[in-house]
A and B are shown apart, each in its own frame.
Chain A
Amino acid sequence: MKNPLRKRFLRELKQDFGKYAVIFLFITLTIGFISGFLVADNSMTHAYDESFEKYNIEDGNFELEQKADAVLLKKVESENDVVLYENFYKEVPKAISNATLRIFGERNDINLVCVMEGRAPQKDGEIALDRLFAENRELKIGDSVVLGGEKLEIVGTVALSDYSAQFQNNSDMMFDATNFGVAIVTKGQYDKLDAGTEHFIYSWKNNKTDLTDSQQRDLSDDILKQLVSLRAGITNITPAVENQAIHFTGDDMGSDKSMIQVLLYVIMVILAFIFSVTIASIIEKEASEIGTMRALGFTRGELLRHYITLPVTVTLISCVLGNILGYTVFKDVMAGMYYHSYSLPTYITLWNPYAFVITTVVPCMIMIVVNTIVLYTKLKLSPLKFLRHDLNHWREKKAVRLPKVSFMARFRMRILIQNKVNYLVMFLGVTFASLLIFFGLLMTPLLDHYGMLVEENMISDYQYVLKMPVQTKNEAAEKYAVKSLILDKTDRKLKEEINVYGIREDSDYITGIELQKNGNGVYASEGILEKYKLSVGDTLALKDEYSDDTYEFEILGTYPYPASFTVFISSSRFEELFDKEEGYFNGYFSNEELTDLDSKAVATTITYDDMTKVVRQLKDSMGQMFPLITVFSVFMAVLIFYLLSKIVVEKNATAISMLRILGYNKSETAKLYMMSTTIAAVISVLLSLGIAAVVMRVLYDYFMQEMAGWLTYYVDPANYVWAVVLGMASYGVSAALQYRKIGKVGLEAALKRADL
């Protein structure tokens, strides 16, 4: 015979439809979102991983000042067991409005191209743009671009396999697919293109295919040493494992996946605890019936299974439905978000058993385990205790002594004490929701603030980095020298590039600091100190990636330059330190555009747009996510407040009814019972906001460690106000529903359950 208690499920579902409906909706949407994300992530990661072989992505590249001769290339190939391929490009600043375009010739051997729409260029006068860049620039097939005075027709959009993330420089903190893009033209068109500066990039493929990351780095070091010894004029070398344009996408998709899983687990644990508190309350209400069933011979396990069946079933159905939505609706939304950030090749949706386990089995298991642990403890009481309502797990044996305050205040205190477990779970749940709300509100003002700081603290409107020293007649220009070193920290996976600037002591652009002529004192940009928890007086250890020379600097003070990690020394000290001749320079600061510089001599021109690309890219790719996170968190907060305050009202239904019999009106009754929950809610919101602010700071530091560079941490004061307003509004919704519920408690509740 089937357990007749199962017949209660549908009735209980109907009886408590509101509760189960909101939980169902919440879990379904959460799982739908996460499942969609995991499916999209998995399918795209698969396509991305496959692309290494399918599109024959390079194992590394180096840049030379000039085109190398065949003998040199042969030497490199034979001594390092690699095959070299030319991967030259011409970089055209302001090719399309203020965007820089990096143009490659057709690729037939390495770093192959995936045509996303249209076709690849087949003749001169045609160009295919990176799909994402074209989208961001609202360029379509059939449109044209003018380069070096020549009009090229866009015949297709493409994904270049070595540019899934459009990093212009490998040291950039973030890519910028709006102001920087890649494109391909035919070999003939490339050769005759008279625009921009040509960069002589040689990509290599290892003959051995099973090298570890560490071996790849060693190989890169070997190639570097060889090229230095051959005086090949190497300006840059990047093994693929360190190439952000190639690996950033994969790393980001991987870290997103871990984060979203943690988010799901935390949400499910919170929901499981809410369910367990809800069930514990039902168990308390049904103590006599449970005692009787136990007396008749029902086992604890049978009752436990009975009480957790409904929440687990609701979770299971929500998860399955969420997965269906994930595969159908949300997958495309999530894939769209990735396509909006990265220049990925086409993908095929893959059935992802891992995602199914993560989004169905794991949530159900969390629900079962948490509820079993919590409820088994409750059900451990003897049948007699249930029959006598002697549930001392919940009820105090002795009344807690309260201070001599008004009756109303004491009444509310009693309710707070009676429901302390509910309020504790409420606090924990609200803390998590607050953290998400805080994050949702944090990022946009933080990015805006960073952009503002960059603008306020720009050294000059134009900053030129030169390939070779060239003179300008513009008097606004000031010479400087710069050298890129890397932070000498072996525990860092990511290379942290730090620019050492040699500045004139009477500089018009860098003011307010006293640069030393001798000694190892430097002024460091504030971000270095913030990120690496350094203080004035500490030592900053840097090294030259290409020579292994190491340098130790004493931090004399900070300089407000948030755009990049920079240290400032005097130009004479620079010359001495890096063995340069007197008067050496390789850049200009200028508040005016230097029009008389030979473009071939200019390696990079840095403007406000370049410095704030991270702001634009993050806002562009994640801008839609932030309000979504806020809405999701508010929904979660409403759910938590609603479910837990509902328990308080239900638990006290008899007492509420009795108060009504005694003559309290609805409003007075509601005030008594809701005020306690309101106090708990206000405390939860305020306290959790404080915790969220602290935790967010810690998490922010942690995640920024995973990125190159630093975005100054900033919390808009209005965020605190908004977080409180949203938190309280969430409670307000729940309170309004509970107020209605209190009004609906009939007088019969007290009359029927006199035993309570």
Chain B
Amino acid sequence: MFLEIEQLRKSYGTGENKVEVLKGIQLGVEKGKICVLLGPSGSGKSTLLNIVGGIDTADSGSVTVAGEVMQGMNDRQLTEYRRKHLGYVFQAYNLIGNLTVRENIEVGAYLSSQPLDIDELLDVLGLTEHQNKIPSQLSGGQQQRTAIGRAIVKNPDILLCDEPTGALDYHTSKDILALIERVNQKYGNTIVIVTHNDAIKNMADQIVKLKDGQIQDVEMNAAKVPAEQLEW
């Protein structure tokens, strides 16, 4: 498995206020696959994503990416891990306000010794004509495309998407999901998408359902539906 998660546990708070968010998660994702983590609010899916992303730490258990074990990594090593392996897309686009679309993507490219060709990527993202605009001149969908571009330009092993369509309307959401799908096909990255939108599972190779900090179900999707055909 490219991504291996074993007996992952995480809790917040102490004493009476202690809440166990992840209760022994065991999961594996193959390289180049799209994995959708589904679950209601509080199910632990974002926490799981954050631990895989190296921006949060587990209490116990382990996460292995491309044979690299994350447990025990210090802050500097975790930064290096993120730099080397990860791309991140958030619900809030978090673009840098005074950089253009192209420059925001360059922010990601800077972190890689072999970034993707930015012009080609802009074309894939459908942002060529907007490349010199700053975020405030863009629609929500265009901003999220830029955020995806920033995450993908360093050609990460894993692209983590936390509710990437959470702030978008139906049509724009489908556009973004199609883009993620296209990126996966073109660049072969492993993609983990966290969502509470059940319909998105249909575009995934692997569907993981979480509830109350535990995996309820892991399903390999033999009948993938192109993102453009998703309905909700």
Contact = CB atoms under 8 A, between A and B. Distances in A.
Contacts of B111: 296-298
A294 B82 CA distance: 8
Contacts of B106: 1, 4
Given A295-B86, A297-B86, A383-B55, A289 B95 contact: yes
A106 to B, nearest CB: 74
Interface in B83-110: 83-84, 86-88, 90, 92, 94-99, 103, 106-110
Given A297-B86, A299-B76, A384-B50, A288 B94 contact: yes
Contacts of B108: 296
Interface centre among B50, B95, B106, B107 (most CB of A within 10 A): B107
Contacts of A297: 79-80, 82-84, 86, 111, 154
Interface in A735-756: 752, 755
Contact of B55 (A11, A12, A295, A299): A295
Interface string B155-194: 0000000000000000000000000000000000000000
A8 B75 CA distance: 27
Contacts of A5: 96, 99, 107, 110
A296 B99 contact: no
Nearest to A287: B94
Interface residues of A, number: 29
Nearest to A293: B107
A296 B82 contact: yes
Contacts of B95: 289
B209 interface: no
A31 B51 CA distance: 50
Contact of A295 (B53, B80, B92, B107): B53
A7 B82 contact: no
A296 B115 contact: no
Given A11-B98, A384-B50, A296 B151 contact: yes
Nearest to B153: A296
A66 interface: no
Interface string B29-41: 0000000000000
Given A5-B96, A11-B98, A383-B55, A292 B103 contact: no
B90 to A, nearest CB: 6
B45 interface: no
Contacts of B50: 384
Contacts of A295: 53, 55, 82, 86, 88
Nearest to B56: A384
A15 interface: yes
B145 interface: no
A292 B98 contact: no
A258 interface: no
Nearest to B108: A296
Among B110, B136, B154, chain A packs the most CB atoms within 10 A around the CB of: B110
A8 B94 contact: no
Given A4-B99, A8-B99, A296-B150, A288 B92 contact: yes
B79 A294 contact: yes
A752 B92 CA distance: 11
Interface in A706-756: 752, 755
A387 interface: yes
Nearest to B89: A292
Contacts of B97: 289
A521 interface: no
Contacts of B94: 288-289, 291-292, 387
Nearest to A7: B103
Contacts of A382: 55-56
Interface in A274-296: 286, 288-289, 291-296
B54 to A, nearest CB: 8
A209 interface: no
Contacts of A293: 107
A3 interface: yes
Contact of A289 (B56, B76, B96, B151): B96
Interface string A1-28: 1111101100110010000000000000
Interface in A415-459: none
Q: Is the interface of A mostly helix, strand, loop or mixed?
A: helix
Contacts of A12: 98
Contact of B110 (A3, A288, A289): A3
Interface in A241-296: 286, 288-289, 291-296
A755 B56 CA distance: 21
A387 B98 contact: no
Nearest to B76: A299
A286 B147 CA distance: 15
Contacts of A288: 90, 92, 94
Contact of A296 (B87, B92, B136): B87
Nearest to A288: B94
A5 B76 CA distance: 21
Contacts of B150: 296
A214 to B, nearest CB: 57
Contacts of A286: 96
A2 B98 CA distance: 17
B78 to A, nearest CB: 9
B98 to A, nearest CB: 4
A1 B92 contact: no
A7 B102 CA distance: 11
A296 B76 contact: no
A1 B115 contact: yes
A522 B194 CA distance: 93
A297 B56 CA distance: 14
Nearest to A2: B110
Nearest to A12: B98
B110 A294 contact: no
Interface string B115-148: 1000000000000000000001000000000010
Contacts of A299: 76, 79, 83
B92 A4 contact: no
Nearest to A292: B94
Nearest to A5: B107
A300 B99 CA distance: 20
B90 A292 contact: yes
Nearest to A3: B110
Nearest to A1: B110
B55 A755 contact: no
Contact of A4 (B84, B86, B107): B107
A611 to B, nearest CB: 66
A298 B90 CA distance: 16
A15 B136 CA distance: 15
A384 B52 CA distance: 12
A489 B87 CA distance: 75
Nearest to B88: A295
Contacts of B56: 382, 384
Contacts of A11: 98
A294 B109 CA distance: 14
A15 to B, nearest CB: 7
Contacts of A3: 110
Contacts of B88: 292, 295-296
Q: Which of B86, B95, B103, B150: most chain A CB closer than 10 A?
A: B103
Interface in A373-409: 382-384, 387
A636 B101 CA distance: 40
Nearest to A380: B75
B57 to A, nearest CB: 9
B14 to A, nearest CB: 14
Interface of B: 50, 53, 55-56, 75-76, 79-80, 82-84, 86-88, 90, 92, 94-99, 103, 106-111, 115, 136, 147, 150-151, 154
26 contacts: A1-B106, A1-B115, A3-B110, A4-B103, A4-B110, A5-B96, A5-B110, A7-B103, A12-B98, A15-B98, A289-B95, A293-B107, A295-B88, A296-B86, A296-B87, A296-B88, A296-B107, A296-B108, A296-B111, A297-B80, A297-B84, A382-B55, A383-B55, A384-B55, A387-B90, A387-B94
10 A-B pairs closest in CB distance: A297-B83, A4-B106, A292-B94, A383-B55, A297-B82, A295-B88, A288-B94, A11-B98, A384-B55, A297-B111
